[in-house]
Amino acid sequence: MNARSFALVALLGTSVLSSFAVAETIVLRGATVHTVGPNGTLQNATIVMQDGVIAAVGKDVRIPTGARVVDVTGQVITPGLVDAYGRLGVTEVDGEAATVDESARGLPYSAAFSVAEAIEPRSIRIQVNRAEGITAGLVAPEASMDSSGLGTIIAGQASFLRLKPGMAIDVRTPVGFVFTYGEAGADLSGGARSAVLLRLRALLDDARDYAANREAFNNGARREYTGTRQDLEALQPLLAGKAPLLAEVHRASDILVLLKLAREQRLKLVVIGGAEAWEVAPQLAAAKVPVVLDVFENLPSSFEMLGATFDNAARLNAAGVEIAFSYAEHYNPRNARQLAGNAVAHGLPFDAALAAITRNPARIYGAGDTLGTLEVGKTADLVVWDGDPLETSTLTMQVYVGGEPVPTTSRQTLLRDRYRTPRGTLPPAYVHPTAK
Amino acid sequence: MKPYSLLVALSGGLLVACAATPPVTSSAKAPAPTVAGAPIAAPAPPAYASTYRPMPATNTLLRGATVLTGTGERLENADVLLVDGKVAALGQGLAVPAGAVAVDAKGLWITPGIIDAHSHLGVYPSPGMRSLSDGNEATSPNTAQVWAEHSVWPQDPGFGAALAGGVTSMMVLPGSANLFGGRTITLKNVAGRSVQDMKFPGAPYGLKIACGENPKRVYGEGRKMLPSTRMGNMAGFRNAFIDARKYRDDLAKYERDRATKPDAQPPTRNLQNETLAGVLSGEIIVQNHCYRADEMVQMLDLAKEFGFRIGTFHHAVEAYKVADILAANGTCSAMWADWWGFKMESLDGIRENIAMVDAAGACAVVHSDSEVGIQHLNQEASKAMAAGRGMGLTITPEHAITWLTRNPARAIGVADRTGTLEPGKMADVVLWNGNPFSVYALAQKVYIDGALVYDRHDPAKQPISDFALGLTPAGGAR
């Protein structure tokens, strides 16, 4: 199985055909452009989006004939924001199990479990968050427990999703394997951290043995494995270092254990959570292990987060650790930019904060070649803001995915418009969306 | 708004202290406190009374700041004088009184202390251990008899973190598992050894009640008992108030009869009905967890049936749909800036909710309901302002600050003492390093009753809870 296989599931319905019609060349002129790339920030710059990619970005840019030029003078452009760890498309209303596909109870499978094919591209959450600048995201499965009280050791495969409008799903799987460690992980393995590691090592050992002895396995000539055939097969990209272990872990000493385990097992590792990661920043930097964190996690919320602090991001960055930000509430990845702003208030340089919600998460999940910065040849996923993108007072003006404008209306804006005053004489139920 | 004296009487005596005598719900008849039945000269403080004392304070002149007064005004290059724990004066070029310290606040912003009308600090503290989880007495749909203050753990490190976010007062509520969750408690955000040390002197009690999904899920789904539906919720509310009304009437009858009928008996004391009777008399403010617009209208009808007022709808994610009705009823809405979609009754949450409630002339409050959100309520207000701007509403900082100070003070019944910077008000003040509606703004100094209780640049002026002691990092800002 090819870990980098690119699955483009295009379920064409009549309503989406128009969005695949001849792509317009669009030019955005006059904005301050944070490229988050080698060119840094450009004032009064122009961006040309052609055939879904950035054809030009800079100050002296030739405008192609026939292009639609949009004046965005005084506004600010950034790459599209990336939800660094979320559930977009697989969870709609957390409290309603029928709308939640991020985990399954009582399955014999673990690593084989993938969220990719459950994704609903027309999800209200996607609509709302995309209209406010989220253009891609990591879609993670969640660990679950069976009736015996034992949980999945690997929750499953994470997908990287681009938030294209319509029914076309642009998703890459697996971009990581979710592994819950620390207090929650221990709870899934009978209550002890050591049990988690024991189970994980056994599983990885079996996956290696299986890969080297598929024929013997199929002939019933191997020992009993701890995972199903599907799990052992699914784990091969992890063992080959093609997709990282996405380890949910907070405690500094737990992170050190996982760094050791990653070395021993030759796994790529990404720390998810990492409230105490700043305390082992040099080790993380040396091992080139990125940390996806929530800037707002500054309280000693548990005994594995006693060292939580607002300074986490700034300290990790200063030590050379690659960081990305993930907002705790999965319905609101649009607030990742607020996290970035708070990190700046607590000492993180602005450019590093912006990178933590654009370039870094794209790169961590293997999309760095095409997404995350505004450079010629990269996919034209970008956002136009009416001010500093990290400011809570700033509004999203335009969003482009693959060079095409994304609707800035959402179910939320429709609700707003139906109840805004002055209202007509008919009940709000007769206020309908205008065709767009 | 209730006059101060009434509030003091309420909290200090009547509903609280009548351990030996039946409760009296009329504020005019406060019995003299007694010890062993004998009148004493210096009345002992009643049980559960506030023991809050302001920290030592130096009179202070904050000079040259942009001041948002909380009354809707903005003063440029202005001074704020704090004397004897009160706001003494606002203006330009005020003289430094003898013995007062002057603080150069040029380029800085001053606001009243932020007030969170919806917090669970202390009752759902950090760390979130099962043994510290004391916010929901989820054992019966009606637990009007419980008081949040009896659960508050003063060592919650969240108090210090909230202080670093400029929060000087808050109302701590029981959770929303029950129809009647219990009494709320209003605290000054000071480090105390007991919750009594934190109790806002004279603040009225609130009663937490909850509409919607939570009670019916906890009891109907969880225990197969009433309520399992929204109509069950309403029946539960109505039955309880019918009981409470009888309790109140029996008590009133006893009060009428006791002078003339030696054998008159008071009703057996009942903590549930005592609290509900306080609601019926208007001495306890109803704090109603309610998401959906249609349910808010139902609750207003419940209030109409039993003749009480609903002070505030909490969460109120659909308040924008009935903002005119809320304005007409004088009911506040305490709201998040952008929480939505985590359960069915929150699906219709929109960013413009706060701004639309405000624009309708209703009382808009930005609340947290979160140990995280309470640390940056200013940013939440900022997002709500931006959403309002996006739909064409003009919302100035001097207006938006009222969502964080004056309006929550009104919602919890302390607006006559704090929430604005006006002479005579408590000197609850925040000095910000810039426009507080910027994501980059941080509180530099926080004053409560004139005392400097937090200074970002002076570790000695940062409270560290017992729990956080020895942890790294330990400071309030963490």
Tens digit of each residue's pLDDT (9 = 90 or more) over B449-462 = 999 999 999 999 99
* Domain count along chain B: 1
User: Which A-chain residues 183-222 have CB contacts (< 8 A) with chain B?
Assistant: none
Is B344 in CB contact (< 8 Å) with chain A?
yes
pLDDT of residue A307: 95
Q: By the CB < 8 Å criterion, does B439 face chain A? A: yes
What average pLDDT score do residues B342-371 get?
98
**Contact assignment for A329 to B348 by CB distance below 8 Å:** no
Omega before residue B262 within 30° of 0, cis: no
Tell me if A307 and B473 make a contact (CB, 8 A cut-off): yes
User: For the segment B275-304, what is each residue's pLDDT rounded down to a tens digit?
Assistant: 999 999 999 999 999 999 999 999 999 999
Using an 8 Å Cβ cutoff, are B184 and B199 in contact?
Answer: no
Domains of chain A: 6-14+82-369 (3.20.20.140)
**Residue among A296, A341, A416 minimizing CB distance to B372:** A296
A177: which strand partners?
A157, A245
In B383-442, beta strands by DSSP E: 429-432
Chain A nearest-CA residue for B217:
A95
Looking at the DSSP assignment, which residues form a beta bridge with residue B289? B210, B314
Cβ–Cβ contact B444 with A under 8 A: no
B44 Cβ neighbours under 8 A, 6+ residues apart: B33, B35
Contact B201, B428 (CB under 8 A): no
CATH number for the domain that contains residue B173 = 3.20.20.140
pLDDT of residue B41: 62
Q: Counting runs of H as helices and runs of E as strands, what totals does chain B give?
A: 13, 19
* Pairing mode, strands A134-139 and A81-86: parallel
Contacts of A312 in chain B (CB under 8 A): none
Place of tokens 């009549």: A14
| pLDDT (0 to 100) of residue B27 | 41
Does the distance separating the beta carbons of A395 and B386 come in below 8 Å? yes
| B299-338 tens-digit pLDDT | 999 999 999 999 999 999 999 999 999 999 999 999 999 9
pLDDT score at B477: 54
- Alpha helices (runs of H) in A54-140, residue ranges in sequence order: 124-130
**How many CB pairs lie under 8 A apart between chains A and B?**
137
- Nearest CA-CA partner of A160 in A114, A99, A128, A129: A114
Q: CB-hemisphere CA count at 13 Å for B37? A: 0
Range 379-398 of A in CB contact (< 8 A) with B: 390-395
In a domain, B285, yes or no: yes
pLDDT in tens, chain A (436 residues): 343 344 443 333 333 444 445 679 999 999 999 999 999 999 999 999 999 999 999 999 999 999 999 999 999 999 999 999 999 999 999 999 999 999 998 888 999 999 999 999 999 999 999 999 999 999 999 999 888 889 999 999 999 999 999 998 999 999 999 999 999 999 999 999 999 999 999 999 999 999 999 999 999 999 999 999 999 999 999 999 999 999 999 999 999 999 999 999 999 999 999 999 999 999 999 999 999 999 999 999 999 999 999 999 999 999 999 999 999 999 999 999 999 999 999 999 999 999 999 999 999 999 999 999 999 999 999 999 999 999 999 999 999 999 999 998 999 999 999 999 888 899 999 998 874 4
Contact check, Cβ <8 Å, B383/A390 = no
Q: Which residues of A touch B442 (CB under 8 A)?
A: 345
Give alpha helix (H) positions in B307-376. 323-329, 353-359
What pLDDT is attached to residue B272? 98
The partner residue sitting opposite A415, judged by closest CB among B350, B383, B442, is B350
In a domain, B4, yes or no: no
Q: For residue B104, tell me if it sits in a domain.
A: no
Residue B213 and residue A416: Cβ atoms within 8 Å?
no
**A351 in Cβ contact with A36 (< 8 Å):** yes
> Quick check: A298 and A278 in contact, CB under 8 A?
no
Domain with B281, as residue range(s), is: 113-420
- B338 and A394: CB-CB below 8 Å? no
**Chain A contact for B386 (CB, 8 A cutoff):** yes
What average pLDDT does the structure give for chain B? 92
The answer to whether residue B88 sits within a structural domain is no
Per the model's pLDDT, the better-predicted residue between A140 and B20 turns out to be A140
pLDDT at site B6:
34
Beta-carbon contacts of B196 under 8 Å, excluding residues fewer than 6 positions away, are: B48, B49, B50, B51, B52
Indicate whether B45 belongs to any domain: no
Mark A288-312 as b/e (b = at least 16 C-beta within 10 Å): ebbbbbbbbbbbbbbebbbbbbbbb
Convert the pLDDT of each residue in B80-117 to its tens digit.
Answer: 999 999 999 999 999 999 999 999 999 999 999 999 99
Q: Is A234 exposed, middle or buried (0-12, 13-18, 19+ CB in 10 A)?
A: buried
Lowest mean pLDDT among A154-168, B7-21, B185-199, B224-238: B7-21
Does the beta carbon of A414 lie under 8 angstroms from any beta carbon of chain B?
no
Show which of residues 302-321 on chain A sit within 8 Å of chain B, judged by CB atoms: 302-303, 305-311
CA distance B278 to chain A (A): 35
> Least CA distance to A392: which residue of chain B?
B383
CA A358 to chain centre: 10
Determine, for residues A335 and B338 on separate chains, whether the beta-carbon distance falls below 8 Å. Answer: yes
Query: Using one digit for the tens of pLDDT, what is the confidence trace for B212-261?
Result: 999 999 999 999 999 999 999 999 999 999 999 999 999 999 999 999 99
Does B471 fall in a domain? no
ipTM, two decimals, is 0.94
- Tell me whether residue B214 is in a domain: yes
Reported as a pLDDT band with limits 50, 70 and 90, residue B473 is confident
Contacting A residues, span 254-293, partner chain B, CB-CB under 8 Å: 279
Q: Is B232 on the interface with A (CB under 8 A)?
A: no
Q: b vs e for B430-454, b when ≥16 Cβ sit within 10 Å of the residue's Cβ? A: bbbbebbbbbbbbbbbbbbbbbbbb
**Most B CBs within 10 Å, among A250, A326, A412, to test the B interface:** A412
Please report residues of A whose CB lies closer than 8 A to that of B350. Answer: 412-413, 415-416
Is B92 a domain residue?
no
Question: Taking CB atoms and an 8 Å limit, are A95 and B127 in contact across chains?
Answer: no
Contact A124 B359 (CB under 8 A): no
